[in-house]
Structure 1
């Protein structure tokens, strides 16, 4: 993936030890101001996407939670999340975990590391 940011690369590195949602949120740990333990707990239900690959990508869920916590812009968080979702889908090819991973089709659209990078950069763009 080209043109990634330092924070996006940090999130991809964090993905080696945490799920996708946790990796995105942990990349913003200092700004969020929660303990590592609390962030990991908050993101723990989003491993392999919501519902075990059945719904939204965990990285995108982590991005939505992060922007919800950090949004001070006056723009409604749900609108920012919608923008991130659209942007994510354009770059990754889908928003549903099993579609991204190619479950049933055998064709992976986007790796977890790249999903984490895309989601992290979507948050950064809105801060």
Structure 2
């Protein structure tokens, strides 16, 4: 199954956006699934309950950090993923994505999860 759709499936099975993205990479990461779920548990509704970065995007950065065995610093990958995610989704802050203040949803959670996985896949070659 495509990792994007696998992550969405996890999202609909009780995981928050961050956990769903992390869990989609559980077979590639050298971290127990239980720890991944704990790592992602504080990022439901974005950082700070809608106030900051989308949880799915946070997960993408975590995956990059866990997978990065290359000389390229993870922070550079994170910067690239942030720009790509913003281009795909319209924003990076959860409440902006959900249209909390404007009433206009820029990107629903399922698509945020898909976009985060796409960001990981786009930078994957730099991680090895």
Where does 1:65-104 land on structure 2 (aligned, <5 Å)?
65-104=62-101
Distance (whole Å) between structure 1 residues aligned to residue 120 and residue 85 of structure 2: 11
In structure 2, runs of 5+ residues without a counterpart are none
- Counterpart pick for 1:25 among 22, 25, 36: 22
When normalised by structure 2's length, the TM-score is 0.93
Post-superposition Cα deviations, 1:38-58, rounded to whole Å, max 9, x if no partner, equal 110010010000000000000
Aligned pair count? 123
Aligned to 2:55: 58
Distance (whole Å) between structure 2 residues aligned to residue 91 and residue 121 of structure 1: 10
Post-superposition Cα deviations, 1:5-35, rounded to whole Å, max 9, x if no partner, equal 8111101111112001101110100111222
Distance (whole Å) between structure 1 residues aligned to residue 116 and residue 71 of structure 2: 21
Aligned-pair Cα RMSD in Å: 1.0
CA apart distance, 1:73: 2.4
Distance (whole Å) between structure 2 residues aligned to residue 18 and residue 47 of structure 1: 9
When normalised by structure 1's length, the TM-score is 0.94
In structure 1, runs of 5+ residues without a counterpart are none
